[in-house]
Amino acid sequence: MTSTDVRVLRVDAEDPAQDGVFRAWAVVYEDASRDALGEAHSSWGLEERRELLRSTERRRLAWAAIVGNTVVGAATLAMPLHDNLDTADVDLAVSPGHRRAGIGSRLLATAEAEAVRAGRSVITAETQWGMGREDDGGAFAASHGYAAAQTVRRNTLPLPADRDRLQAVLAGDGADGYRMRTCWDGIPQEWLEGRAELSRRMSTDVPLGDLRLEEEVWDADRVRSTYAQIAAMGRRVVDTFAVHRSTGELVGYTQVQVDRNGLAYQQDTLVVRGHRGHGLGLRLKAACTLAVMDELPGVSGIRTWNADDNLPMLAVNREVGYVQDAWLREWQKVL
Ligand X SMILES: CC(C)(COP(=O)(O)OP(=O)(O)OC[C@H]1O[C@@H](n2cnc3c(N)ncnc32)[C@H](O)[C@@H]1OP(=O)(O)O)[C@@H](O)C(=O)NCCC(=O)NCCS
Residue ranges binding ligand X (CB under 6 A): 32, 36, 92-94, 99-105, 125, 127, 136-137, 139-141, 143, 331
| Nearer to ligand X among residue 104 and residue 321 (C-beta) | 104
HSE of 217, CA atoms in CB hemisphere, 13 A: 7
Torsion angle, alpha carbons of 198, 200, 205, 210, to 10: 150
- Reply yes or no: is the peptide bond before residue 188 cis, omega within 30 of 0: no
Nearest residue (CB) to ligand X, 48 versus 89: 89
CB 308 within 8 A of CB 326: no
In the complex, minimum distance from the CB of residue 313 to ligand X, in angstroms, rounded to a whole number? 24
* Nearest distance from C-beta of residue 286 to ligand X, angstroms: 34
Q: Which helix (H) or strand (E) holds 302?
A: strand 301-307
CB atoms < 10 A from the CB of 114, how many?
18
Nearer to ligand X, 145 or 158 (CB): 145
**Between residues 140 and 191, which has the closer beta carbon with respect to ligand X?**
140
- Select 249 or 325, whichever has its Cβ closest to ligand X: 325
Closest to 30 measured CA to CA, from 49, 4, 2: 49
How many residues in the chain? Answer: 335
Pairing, β 122-130 against β 87-94: parallel
Report DSSP letters for 230-265, one per residue.
HHHTT-EEEEEEEEETTT--EEEEEEEEE-TTS-EE
Report in angstroms how near the CB of residue 261 gets to ligand X at its nearest: 21
For the bound state, the minimum distance from the C-beta of residue 201 to ligand X, rounded and expressed in Å, comes to 29
The nearest distance, CB 301 to ligand X, in angstroms, is: 23
CB-nearest residue to ligand X: 137
Kindly state the smallest distance separating residue 276's Cβ from ligand X, in Å.
35
Say which DSSP state 274 is in. G
Compute the least distance from the CB of residue 283 to ligand X, in Å: 36
Closest CB to ligand X among residues 4, 189 = 4
Backbone angles phi, psi at 56, to 5 degrees: -95, 0
Question: For ligand X, which is the closer residue by CB, 139 or 168?
Answer: 139
